[in-house]
Amino acid sequence: MAEKVKGYRNIAGMTQAELAAKLGISVQSYRNKEKGRVAFKDSEKIVIRDMLDKIINGIKIDDIFF
């Protein structure tokens, strides 16, 4: 899962800091989530999915996180 999230973040051309800011969390919190140490909240998954849907039409939360 961790590599998938990182890969999609890279496809979006975003840094960890940029995505953390979009989610309203610290960079360290984002890093822990991206590495799989802490789970993403459902609301955060939706924000990431909505952001990626602009690039990859029809992408689903399951495609990103599972």
Q: Provide the 10 A C-beta neighbour count for residue 45.
A: 17
User: What fold is seen in the domain 2-65?
Assistant: 434 Repressor (Amino-terminal Domain) (1.10.260)
The predicted model scores a pTM of 0.91
Span 18-58, pLDDT tens digits: 999 999 999 999 999 999 999 999 999 999 999 999 999 99
pLDDT of residue 20: 98
* Residue type for position 7: G
In this structure, the chain runs to a length of 66
